[in-house]
Amino acid sequence: MPLVPMRTMLDHAAENDYGVAALNVNNMEQIQAIMMAAEETDSPVIIQASSGARKYTNDAYLRHLMLAAVELYPKIPIVMHLDHGNAPEACFSAIEQGFTSVMMDGSLTLDSKPSSYDYNVEVTLKVVEAAHAVGVSVEGEIGALGGIEDGHGAGLSEEEAQEHLTDPAQAEQFVADTGVDALAVAIGTSHGAYKFKKKPTGEVLKMSLIEEIHKRLPNTHLVMHGSSSVPQELQDIINKYGGDIRQTYGVPIEEIQRGIKHGVRKVNVDTDSRLAITGAIRKVFAETPEAFDPRKYLTPAREAMKQVCVARMTAFGQAGNAGKIKPNTCKEMVDFYKK
């Protein structure tokens, strides 16, 4: 089947109470890992690329790798999503490249500072109007996350991020003002590996905020960013084989599952894949220093990322749903948005 719009997938997830992992990619092995996991678990998938990934792949490699995934896995619904478009132009060029969903992150200005509400509405609305006219789904963001990744983010510390959490009333207004399909909210998570200095409690990871926002916006698909779990065993593998990852804590799986019970439909996971890949490669380098065929270390790296994907797809409940989604195309969504 062709790439599907994100709205279609998240509507199905909402009707059936599950969440979908949105997994970042930069290269062939990462796309392969996701698709192997999706096939094994019969999962619909959201594959997302940041501006950094688009630059790294010159767009063209990414586009053709995605077409390869579509060709090889005709029964798996796949969404191709732009992660953190920083300006309307970034979203428009993604739509030209065939992305079926875009994120306009107007929560930050072009120089990565927390933006004003009016700025956010202005840029997001511009994208919603253009994207919906061609049936492409749109994710917006209200509130600002901590950390920085792929050059994106205000670099807020764990403490500073607490000052930019999503205001539920403002979230409700934002959806009314823009008409986004999905909304990323800031609840204390941050991008990258260093999210929390200790296992997070409700004090720093405000899942209660998700519940409040969901009550006000029962029909908007909520998105959790920075939601890698940063498993201890992945940190340990890297450090055992010569790496240097400072002790850190991510978002516990059970907290994500709590979010999924309260309207979270898209869960962004990138760091866990990166950790799995790096650990596997380090292990090969340490144990077989004579190896020099890239497949010798990229094959276990791909397998390690696949295992992370299988675990998340199972935990979030998307497993078993690939065949249940009635696929459609962006073209078919145009009339939906006219209503």
Positions annotated as catalytic residues are: 83
Distance, in Å, from the CA atom of 128 to the CA atom of 222, rounded to the nearest integer, reads: 17
Residue in 245, 200, 209, 208 with CA at minimum distance from that of residue 227? 200
Least separation in angstroms between residue 103's CB and Zn ion is: 8
The burial of 202, by beta-carbon neighbours within 10 Å (0-12 exposed, 13-18 middle, 19 or more buried), is given as exposed
Measured in degrees and rounded to the nearest 5, phi and psi for residue 167 equal -90, 120
Least separation in angstroms between residue 93's CB and Zn ion is: 19
**CA count, 13 A, side-chain hemisphere, 220:** 30
Residue in 48, 52, 36 with CA at minimum distance from that of residue 9? 48
Through-space distance between the first and last CA atoms of the chain, rounded to whole angstroms: 26
Cβ closer to Zn ion: 141 or 167? Answer: 141
Q: Where are the alpha helices (DSSP H) in the chain?
A: 6-15, 28-41, 51-56, 60-72, 88-96, 117-133, 158-161, 168-178, 207-216, 232-240, 253-260, 271-287, 294-316, 330-338
Least separation in angstroms between residue 39's CB and Zn ion is: 26
Q: Which two tokens stand for residue 182?
A: 């999905």
Least separation in angstroms between residue 50's CB and Zn ion is: 8
Cβ closer to Zn ion: 70 or 103? Answer: 103
Least separation in angstroms between residue 283's CB and Zn ion is: 29
**CA count, 13 A, side-chain hemisphere, 295:** 0
Q: Are 321 and 12 in contact (CB under 8 A)?
A: yes
Binding positions for Zn ion, rule: CB under 5 A = 225
Q: Which two tokens stand for residue 73?
A: 């896995």
Cβ closer to Zn ion: 205 or 298? Answer: 205
Cβ closer to Zn ion: 151 or 218? Answer: 151
Distance, in Å, from the CA atom of 262 to the CA atom of 19, rounded to the nearest integer, reads: 10
Least separation in angstroms between residue 290's CB and Zn ion is: 40
Distance, in Å, from the CA atom of 236 to the CA atom of 210, rounded to the nearest integer, reads: 31
Cβ closer to Zn ion: 43 or 86? Answer: 86
Cβ closer to Zn ion: 81 or 225? Answer: 225
Q: Is the dihedral of CA 74, 25, 46, 178 positive or negative?
A: negative
